[in-house]
Chains A and B, each alone.
Chain A
Amino acid sequence: MVEKILTESKVNIYVMGKEYEVPSNLTIMKAMEYIGYRFVRGAGCRGGFCGACATVYRMKDEYRLRMALACQETVQNGMYLAQIPFTPANKAMYDVDKLEPSGNTLLIHYPEIARCLCCNTCTKACPQELEVMNIVQAALRGDFEEVAQLSFDCISCGLCAMRCPAEIVPYNVALLGRRVYGKYIMPKSREIEKAVKETKRGRYNGELKNLAEMGLDELKKMYEEREID
């Protein structure tokens, strides 16, 4: 089942300037492997969750630079492409227990967000189609909820940071924003506190011991007869 059934129709792509003919139904990642590339960098989850395969490309005869995840984008005829193997990004260091959910926390850790030019290049670069500039602006205002909501689907591929003329690293700013929001602003669950206490004081130990000592037939019967919501 793993053998690719390759389509008959082919397209021409240019990997770092070299032209290759590849089946038209492959992703950029699979097309590069088809050609003979074996990734060490530039491939991760292969499912659109990890951001390892950030790719930039330009279509033949077009001025615009486009961004994609190599594992999530189908090849097109005339694609000139290169991968970004690593993003040299600034990440602030902090003790999350000593952070404060106050308006200027993000600005203190990432003062460069004040340099945002509102050019929206980061938004155009995002392969997840997030409103990156709005995230940076919300960070500037200290609006943690907005940062958290808008940036939740960020996969930290690094493309916004590579494009930002103000040298901001939006994905790390957003990470800090979400952590503050998750830790200090979202209400804590009382049910969890209770569950931790009850397991610690051994409330379930007796019942679990009984189950562990039970014969297999009896255990199976109990399993089959358990109440299903």
Chain B
Amino acid sequence: MEFVSGYPDYMLESTDQVERTRDRRLDESIELMSLEERDEVLRRYHPDYKESGKRALRLGPNKGDSVPHEIADLIETHPLINPAEIDLIHLDFDLDILIIGGGGAGMTAALWANYSGVKPEDILIIQKLRMGDSNSVMSQGGIQIADKPYDSPVIHYLDALGGGHFTSNPELVRTLVLDAPTILRWHEKLGVEYDKEPNGDMITLPCGGSSKKRLHSARDYTGMEIIRNIKDEVINEELPFIEFTSAVELIMDDSDRVAGAVLYNMETQQYYVARAKATILATGGFGRLHIQGFQTTNHYGATADGIVLAYRVGARLRDMDSVQYHPTGAAYPEQIVGLLVTEKVRNLGAQPVNRYGEQFVNPLEPRDVEASAIIRECYEKGGGIETPTGMIGVWLDTPMIEIIRGEGTIEKSLPAMFRQNRRFGIDMRKSPILVFPTLHFQNGGVEMINDRTETTVKGLFAAGEVTGGTHGKNRLMGNSILDYSVYGRRAGIHAAEYTKKISVGRLTLNHVERYEAMLREAHVETDMRSPILLPEYRGERALSHSLDIL
């Protein structure tokens, strides 16, 4: 098969049908599902409900809980390090706060720890890739904040709780919505260029699962715009960070508190020992595990390292059975399969339609419901269209945006999407784009037990996608930037507070040996080791002939 610029002929026949029904569909809307209907489509089509995709954990604080095999495989696995080889006496870093992860949550935490009085030299951020390389930088659509006269945090609370099927920790949702305006004001003071009206008030859009227009964006580069501002602040404030270095094991002290981590320089392959009074886990999510074989929108480092590290010190997890599949990942062309097609495309008016150009779901259902309806359309109702490389997808009718909101809207409001498609010969102003659900977000994670971002283990704080509790079993669009901002900030503030009260005892890695004993007791037999740090994408031939010589 030759690479085709734009769509092959047989797909163009279907886009013609989409075009023919467009005028009619402009006035046609499909009703939102009732709670019962949602339940039904989720149970039958959402990948989370596929029992064969999961198994019960055999050890640790969540023993018996059902989690995806890909997660169980990482948890029921040997540590990367042998404690006997690590010298805990000679410290490389002696800190107040160690922050593991340099994405949105980690950098926000560092800044707020500093604002709270912790000196830059007592903070260290370690980051596996470059500073800011994270899912945060890729979030396109925007952030939910109830700042409009027609809206209120109370409605935001109800939307978020219901969107998560009433499975979240209400305290965490409450703080999420109440801290939201403070975050927006902070961003504004940093210079983040949100889309604004001429009088300075924010332009807001509707978002899936929410009852009011509450989405604040910076074109479709919202995450990137926020991250480049806070990264610039981290540099200006001279907060220390080390790139291409990861945490491979947490360290504890003799009073069972987390007291730092063993770090690993991924370029020179040497380890460092960092002692810290407080450790903030901000390692992000797990998209690169490709749960159930799904493509992902996530960045290269999203490999669940934080889950593994936290579980080894006995931290409890929650909602790990729940994975967010974004309803609209790119399904064509092959080069960009799985990448995010921001929900903002639907917020601006594009409808998902089948191969015959007919709507089959309201464009603004909560994400899990929307994704399930698309899977149903493709795999049960036969309304999908197959690409030359075997992906099945439905159309997202982007030309509607220009009809509803005026010519030029796509280039102005969706420059990233426009550019990405144009690179492969597709003009989304004129043709629809093909989409299929893609693995997007880790709904659950290390349990945050209160809004001070504490976990079940003393000395270990957590913020952002690595945590569980805020979104229950489904996160609404626009609540992830908010989550890492609100709880990143709080992690910085509360970790700073905590460091004033404690002194670290003797460092130990005994928990690593205890973990090995648990693996033996549970009869786990494996050669695998974790955290994995990076996914494995090398070609089959290259891998099967690789020798470990140099």
Task: State the A residues within 8 Å of B (CB).
Answer: 1-5, 7-9, 24-27, 30, 33-41, 43-50, 52, 72-74, 91, 93-96, 128-129, 148, 152-153, 155-156, 175, 178-184, 186-196, 199, 204, 207-208, 211-212, 216, 219-220, 222-224, 226-229
Q: Chain A's nearest CB lies how many Å from the CB of B155?
A: 7
B148, A156: Cβ atoms closer than 8 Å: no
State the majority secondary structure of interface residues on A: loop
Task: Collect the chain A residues with CB atoms within 8 Å of residue B371's CB.
Answer: none
A181-B206 contact given A41-B244, A48-B420, A187-B200, CB 8 Å threshold: no
Report which B residues bind A (CB closer than 8 A).
1-3, 32, 34-35, 129-130, 132-135, 137-138, 140, 145-150, 152-155, 157-159, 161-162, 166, 170-171, 174, 178-179, 181-182, 184-185, 188-193, 196, 198-202, 206, 211-213, 218-219, 221, 223-225, 228-229, 232-233, 235-236, 238, 244, 266-267, 290, 293-295, 297, 299-300, 333-336, 339-340, 389-391, 415-416, 419-420, 423-424, 534, 536-539, 541-543, 546
Q: Which residues of A sit under 8 angstroms from B225, Cβ to Cβ?
A: 152
B172 to chain A, nearest CB (A): 12
- Determine if A204 and B538 form an interchain contact, defined as CB atoms under 8 angstroms apart: no
- A192 and B188 contact, CB distance less than 8 A: yes
Interface contact B224-A155, CB-CB below 8 Å: yes
13 contacts between A and B (CB under 8 A): A9-B3, A36-B541, A38-B538, A39-B300, A40-B534, A72-B336, A74-B424, A152-B218, A183-B188, A189-B188, A189-B200, A222-B158, A227-B211
Q: Give the complex CA separation of A227 and B420 in angstroms.
A: 37
Q: Are A208 and B157 also in contact (CB < 8 A) when A179-B229, A226-B211 are? A: yes
Are B297 and A25 in contact (CB-based, < 8 A)? no
- Set A3, A96, A153, A222: member contacting B221, Cβ < 8 A: A153
Question: Shortest Cβ distance from B468 into chain A, in angstroms?
Answer: 19
For B154, list chain A residues within 8 Å (CB): 204, 207-208, 211
Contact (Cβ within 8 A) B32 A228? yes
CA distance A211 to B154 in the complex (A): 9
- Given the known interface contacts A175-B228, A204-B154, the answer about A192 and B185 at a Cβ–Cβ threshold of 8 Å is yes
Q: Complex Cα distance A73/B335, Å? A: 8
Q: Determine whether the beta carbon of B3 is less than 8 Å from that of A7.
A: yes
CA distance A44 to B218 in the complex (A): 21
Q: Which 7 A-B pairs have the closest CB atoms?
A: A36-B542, A187-B200, A182-B191, A183-B191, A179-B191, A195-B181, A223-B162
A50 → chain B, closest Cβ, in Å? 5
Contacts of A219 in B (CB 8 A): 158, 161, 166
Shortest distance between the CB of B265 and any CB in chain A (Å)? 10
List residues of chain B with CB within 8 A of the CB of A208.
Answer: 153-154, 157, 174, 178
CB-CB under 8 A for A191 and B202, given A43-B300, A199-B178, A212-B174: yes
A48 contact from B179, B206, B416, Cβ within 8 A:
B416
- Residues of chain B within 8 A of A193, CB atoms compared: 185
Contact yes or no, A220 B166, CB < 8 A: yes
A47 contact from B130, B297, B536, B537, Cβ within 8 A: B297
Closest to A95 in B: B236
